[in-house]
Amino acid sequence: MFRNTATTVFRNTSRFQIGAAATAATSAALYLDHQQKHSTSSPGKVSCEKSKTYKTTLGSPVKTSAEVPKNKDLRVISLEELREHTDPDNGLWVSFKGHVYDVSHFPKIHPGGPGRIEMAAGTDLQPYFDVYHLHPDVSGFLDRTCLIGRLSKKDAKKSEKETVFANPYAEDPVTDLRDPFGGAPKWSNLMYKGHLDNFYTPNRDFYVRNHFPIPQWDDVEQDYSFDLVLPSLSEEDDEEEENERTFTLQDLRDNLQEHTVSSVMVCGGPAIYPRYLHRTDDRENWEVKHFKRNQANNNFWGGHGKWTGYKLRDLLNLQGIDVDAIALGEKPLPDKYLKLTGHDADETGAPFGVTIPLEKVVDPFGDVLLATKLNDEPLTPDHGYPLRLLVPGFAGVRNCKWIAKIEFSDDLHECHVDTHTDEVIYPPDMTFEDNAARTDVEMDEKLKHYWETNKIWRGMEKATKRF
């Protein structure tokens, strides 16, 4: 039996139902609607009573915390009114630290996906941050960009108390490298002699990044399977159901040859994660001043592994796709991408999904694997057990874990992970040297001093306790 632990984990004890993730309206449209409802008298100010003009930063963001309206200048919003704004059409409102924010514009750019913002609408953010405690403090960002009012002290406490969010990661396997959805070893742990003598990163020190809770099966051999949706091979063959085939682990073992590939895998996101949240005119300086560099930037989100599994091109070839002719250019690509969907899903039920170029898959030297082992050991649940994709040379996010479905497609995946501009497919001709040549890197004097005096390297030589 398959169990996805991410479902039915949240509720509001007063009133709250989660709908399917919907496309959020644009910031401008929502702001105009908000202003019409509250009779705007001037930019940054909303007149809610004849005798009082209240301030807001929605639609007129400020650049510094000093410019954020004081509590006395904010409209007092009732808890009932907050809980009425739980859908994009009526606005998505949340409370945090006593303030009320209209975050209707944010689902589109939220790194965790639109569904999680809509899930939190009408409630308080603190219980969510108690679970996702690696999340940076966004109160400053919210204050400067979408503050519309405040709750009374009594309602603020009630909003937080009555927002209940069970930890969807509670049933995930406990390992040293997860907190709660990802982790990586400190640089110092990778620099001692035991690691330097090893060509591969030990499994226990291979970074982990899971967007959603780990799916689990009672009996993998019996319960696990994935679907392959083939392109139409003729004009008459246009029914998707006819082209969808299901495979088990035993099917792969019985019909495909096992291969081993050595490949480096690096996460494409943690070092730039703060940039999603703090889009200000002075973004670079704001990060340095206000975002403390922690695990995401001081640990190594990468590893070099020996991966074993079955070439995806061999599976396609077995199903009638002439991968050799396509690779040689004798036949056209039937579609631009392979769309990959995992068995893992977020709290709203939206599954993980990404795309990879079909050209990479059919390339005989592309080495795209349906991987079952890492460094000669079966994959652990954290690393995609029982089956994941290995796409050498592509960001870690493209190496889909717990594969549920593979489809031919000319479009990107519907999952937000695939459409974030900072996580698009890396071009095949991108090299480190080229990227460095195009980047203006300035090292501050303190860091330059550390490098020149080798203090950093001396620190790395010491084996420190894993976080």
Q: For 267, how many CA atoms within 13 A lie in the half-sphere containing its CB?
A: 22
Closest CA to 324 of 307, 311, 341, 309: 311
What is residue 52's predicted lDDT score, i.e. its pLDDT?
A: 76
Q: What is the CATH number of domain 2-165?
A: 3.10.120.10
What is residue 298's predicted lDDT score, i.e. its pLDDT?
A: 56
What is residue 179's predicted lDDT score, i.e. its pLDDT?
A: 60
**pTM for this predicted structure:** 0.73
Name every residue whose Cβ is closer than 8 Å to that of residue 80 and which is 6 or more positions away in sequence: none
Residue 426 to residues 52, 139, 357, 393: CA-CA distances in angstroms? 53, 33, 10, 9
| Radius of gyration for the alpha carbons in the chain, expressed in angstroms and rounded | 25
Tens of pLDDT, residue by residue over 28-64, are 333 334 444 433 334 455 444 456 789 999 988 998 8
> Domain ranges in the chain?
2-165, 182-437
Among all chains, which residue has been given the structure tokens 């007129």?
60
Q: What is the CATH number of domain 182-437?
A: 3.90.420.10
What is residue 177's predicted lDDT score, i.e. its pLDDT?
A: 57
DSSP string, 82-124: HTT-EETTTEEEEEETTEEEE-TTSTTT-TT-HHHHHHHTTSB
Q: Is 2 exposed, middle or buried (0-12, 13-18, 19+ CB in 10 A)?
A: middle
What is residue 318's predicted lDDT score, i.e. its pLDDT?
A: 96
CA 368 to chain centre: 22
Report, as ranges of residue numbers, the positions in the chain whose pLDDT lies below 70.
Answer: 1-51, 134, 175-181, 186-196, 233-242, 269-299, 420-467
DSSP H or E run through 347: none
What is residue 19's predicted lDDT score, i.e. its pLDDT?
A: 32
- In terms of phi and psi (left: phi > 0; alpha: psi -120 to 50; beta: otherwise), the region of 47 is beta
